[in-house]
Amino acid sequence: MKAVRYHEFGGPEVLRYEDVERPAPGAGQVLIRVAGSAFSPADSGIRSGNLPIPVSLPHIPGCDVSGTVEAVGAGVESFAVGDAVIGFLPMTDDGAAAEFVVAPADALATAPTSIPLVDAAAIPSVALTAWQSLFDEAGLESGQRVLIVGAGGAVGDYAIQLAKRAGAHVIATASPRSAERVRTAGADEVIDHTTTAVRDAVDGQVDVLLNLAPIEQAEFAALVDLVRDGGVVAATTAWMPTPGDEKRGVRAAGIYVRSDADQLSRLVSLVDGGELRVEVSRRVPLSQLPAIHAEAATGGLRGKVVAVPESA
């Protein structure tokens, strides 16, 4: 089969589009014929060696997958050959930037039927990150106020939609190029962080602060004053500590997304029910995935990009 992989850590230039032996599912696993593999910044972090997740070389990136079950391993009863599935794959294992990938059956959910299967690859890790941040860690409830910093990306898009569905008032920061997307997702207030100090622009306090942006530590710490006593600060910025305020009971929660098939199934139900929009900015042939990594390295990548095997 064809796959994109790297034999050493480094920049996008280490990625190769090459022939790789097709894997076989073991006990508790399924073999997926890949329809789509969504690019994630985590893929770049692991490839460059900046994200300390242990992988064996050579390594195939791509933790988000959509596709069709091609074969099942021993003991798998939840899925059968021909089933359309999506999943957030273990980041330590070979990923979905290939024509086929092996996945734990318990990491998969039935794919949505209301959108193309290839586009469903844009759901797993980012939607799970948004869900786990808002509800598992922050305990967001109806009537509360949430400030989402750096809401213009894929996680922010899902976070806004989920928070609004939960009945929260959403304040979001975004650059001018992302402002319309953030409004479309349902934000009640949009702050242009390129021209306005976020701390000064928020009227009153919020119950939850969710940071998705690579802001300076001092700026992040200053935003904690916007959180009410007993509120929550959550962040996906794993490279720096998440600030809180023990004196006021403001809890800090660093977010490390985890695979959860039940949550993923709930998200699929929201998609099929018309309550959660999936946005894919581009589909590219799998052979062009190295170019997407290079584009991301320059900071020029916008929206969610899905790589599609030429054989799909």
Mean predicted confidence (pLDDT) in 148-176 = 95
116 & 205 share domain: no
Q: What average pLDDT does this structure show over 6-23?
A: 97
pLDDT of residue 300 exceeding 80, the answer is no
pLDDT given at position 311: 80
pLDDT tens for each residue of 204-247: 999 999 999 988 999 999 999 999 999 999 999 877 899 999 99
> 149 and 176: one domain?
yes
User: Is residue 264 a part of any domain in this protein?
Assistant: no
Residue 64 located in a structural domain: yes
In a domain, 98, yes or no: yes
Domain shared by 191 and 223, yes or no: yes
Q: Do the domain assignments include residue 209?
A: yes
Q: Assess if residue 262 is contained within a domain.
A: no
8 Å CB contact between 62 and 31: no
Read off the CATH number of the domain in which 151 is found: 3.40.50.720
Same domain, 190 and 285: no
**Mean per-residue pLDDT of the chain:** 95
If asked whether residues 249 and 136 sit together in one domain, one would say: yes
304 contacts 280 by C-beta, under 8 angstroms: yes
Up-side HSE of residue 29: CA atoms within 13 Å toward CB?
Answer: 14
% pLDDT > 70, the chain:
100
Q: Which of 254, 269, 299 is the last residue of a domain?
A: 254
**74 Cβ contact partners less than 8 Å away, ≥ 6 residues apart:** 26, 27, 28
pLDDT value at position 226?
A: 97
Residues 135 and 247 both lie in one domain: yes
Domain range for 287:
2-122+279-308
Same domain, 110 and 132: no
Closest-CA residue to 90 (of 119, 53, 117, 120): 53
Residues 216 and 237 in one domain: yes
My answer on whether 53 and 141 are in the same domain is no
Lowest mean pLDDT, pick from 26-30, 135-139, 296-300:
296-300
Query: Each residue of 180-214: pLDDT tens digit?
Result: 899 999 999 999 988 888 998 999 999 999 999 98
* CATH code, domain with 71: 3.90.180.10
State whether residue 206 is helix, strand or coil: strand
Looking at residue 50, its pLDDT comes to: 87
Q: Please, which residues bridge with residue 170 across strands?
A: 146
Q: How many domains does the chain have?
A: 2
Give residue 102's pLDDT.
98
pLDDT at 79: 98
Per-residue model confidence as pLDDT tens digits over 86-130: 999 999 999 999 999 999 999 999 999 999 999 999 999 999 999
pLDDT at 39 over 90: yes
- Average pLDDT over every residue of 150-163: 95
Do residue 214 and residue 103 come from a single domain?
no
Report the pLDDT value the prediction gives residue 183, as an integer from 0 to 100.
94
How distant, in Å, are the alpha carbons of 47, 199, 244 from that of 223?
Answer: 32, 6, 10
Question: Is residue 99 located within the same domain as residue 171?
Answer: no
Q: Is residue 260 part of a domain?
A: no
- Residue 106 and residue 177 in one domain: no
Q: Decide if 36 is inside a domain.
A: yes
Residue 177 has pLDDT above 90, yes or no: no
Instruction: Report the pLDDT averaged over residues 252-256.
Output: 93
12 domain-assigned: yes
